[in-house]
Amino acid sequence: MTLANDLDIEQTRAHFPALRSGHIFADNAGGSQVPKDVVDRISDYLLNTNVQVNVDYSISIQSTQRVAEGRAAAARLLNAAKPEQIILGGSSTANMENLLRQFDGDVNAGDEFILMDGEHEANNGTWKKLAARTGAIIKYWHPVITSPENPFSVVHRVEHLTPLITPKTRVVAFSACSNILGSVVPVKEISKAVRAEAAAKGAQKVDISIDAVAYAPHRRIDVQDWDIDFCMLSFYKVYGPHAAALYVRSPVHPSSSSVAHELVYGSTGILPYLLSLTPINDLQATFDAIASHEKSLVDPLLAFFTHPEQRARGLMIVGSEDAHDIGRVPTISFVIQGENPIPSQEIVKRINRKGGVGIRGYKYSCTTEDGVQLSLDGGVARISLVHYNTVEEVHKIIEILKEIIYT
């Protein structure tokens, strides 16, 4: 029997025509599958309301309303106070680039930007470009190694962030969830700590920028509760089309950049899908159910990767190994080193050549709090699952991994 806070996995998967193929989609951090309702809305817009917006004839009025509905839906997904705080665009990177062009006159030489080391370039890259234009100084929040048996077991701790804050701190930018490490950080706790430390040290204005692109498929976003200034969301990572939304607490930019209107309207199908996953019709209940199901995906993967037999083989997770870590999503990056190493790209090729499952490799580098540069020149192999994946698929992936690494 499916309880109110459980996912009905068969009903969930029925929303996604692509899943009928039997292919195991294990590269969801690169882009999720799309429910039929989202596709239907894109088609409906193009077939019935594909006209210029903001004109006073009836079809244009309907088209304009549909675009407004897209912005309102994004505001609800982010829990923004009002739709006017949402910028829509083709990608999170483009949205941030457009926004930060407005900041050139609001940043002084010597201002300090604190960035998360080894994280998504959509957040870090745009701030680094702004620093180069304005003379701001970049500082990095480095991770720590948590297991003496695994030099790649890196996680970020808030106690290593706050000492970086000074009276010159202007921006603190980090990811709510790593698209490589699979670790969720406590955004609200960090935001509160940052603001308290900044106030104590006399920093005049500190903007907190959150990359929630890899977080959105797994946990609920709440920009108001987090008390942040900017937040990125890519619809195509959270069961939508190739478009993106950016939350800006105090808008200083037009509410939309270049983005296809049919994709904006298509994104309105994300919320109904998510709300359909439990009978409670509540986003928090939905994400609680998602987190519960995802734990059933994470547990067997972590049990396999951390088993002494795999450790002896040189198989190591890049990121947290803690099976009880409530901030762990089913994105698992790993390497095979030791006496008989397998390059990460070769691992990916061998798995993908098996057919019926798709993963990817990813370049990754970071320096730990102790100044240790991780030896990951060959990158990592990454398995990334979401709530429409099944435990049976996890065990199939494990069997393929066993065959590959022990042959």
CATH of the domain at 289: 3.90.1150.10
Q: How far apart are CA 272 and CA 77, in angstroms?
A: 11
Strand partners, 155: 144
Task: Note whether residue 62 is domain-resident.
Answer: no
Task: Note whether residue 238 is domain-resident.
Answer: yes
* DSSP label of 374: P
Could you tell me the residue range of the domain that residue 399 belongs to? 283-405
Residue-wise pLDDT tens for the chain (407 aa)? 344 568 999 999 999 999 999 999 999 999 999 999 999 999 999 999 999 999 999 999 999 999 999 999 999 999 999 999 999 999 999 999 989 988 888 999 999 999 999 876 767 899 999 999 999 999 999 999 998 889 999 999 999 999 999 999 999 999 999 999 999 999 999 999 999 999 999 999 999 999 999 999 999 999 999 999 999 999 999 999 999 999 999 976 555 557 899 999 999 999 999 999 999 889 999 999 999 999 999 999 999 999 999 999 999 999 988 866 667 899 999 999 988 999 999 999 999 998 899 999 988 888 999 888 887 888 999 999 999 999 999 999 999 999 988 87
Q: How does strand 244-248 pair with strand 86-89?
A: antiparallel
**H-run or E-run covering 150:** strand 150-155
253 with 338, same domain? no
Give residue 174's pLDDT: 96
Q: How far apart are CA 377 and CA 267, in angstroms?
A: 37
Q: How does strand 331-336 pair with strand 315-318?
A: antiparallel
Q: Which two tokens stand for residue 277?
A: 């996953």
Where in 249-367 does DSSP place strands (E)? 315-318, 331-336, 357-358, 360-362
Q: How far apart are CA 192 and CA 228, in angstroms?
A: 9
Q: How far apart are CA 174 and CA 379, in angstroms?
A: 21
- Whether residue 120 contacts residue 179, with contact meaning beta carbons closer than 8 Å, is answered with yes
263 with 290, same domain? no
Q: How far apart are CA 366 and CA 359, in angstroms?
A: 22
Give residue 338's pLDDT: 87
263 with 351, same domain? no
341 with 226, same domain? no
Q: Which two tokens stand for residue 117?
A: 């080391």
Give the pTM: 0.95
Q: How far apart are CA 244 and CA 205, in angstroms?
A: 27
Task: Note whether residue 11 is domain-resident.
Answer: no
Q: Report phi then psi at 232, rounded to 5.
A: -100, 140
262: Cα separation from own chain's centroid = 23
307 with 196, same domain? no
102 with 186, same domain? yes
| The last residue of a domain, from among 242, 275, 308 | 275
354 with 243, same domain? no
Task: Note whether residue 28 is domain-resident.
Answer: no
| The last residue of a domain, from among 275, 301, 320 | 275
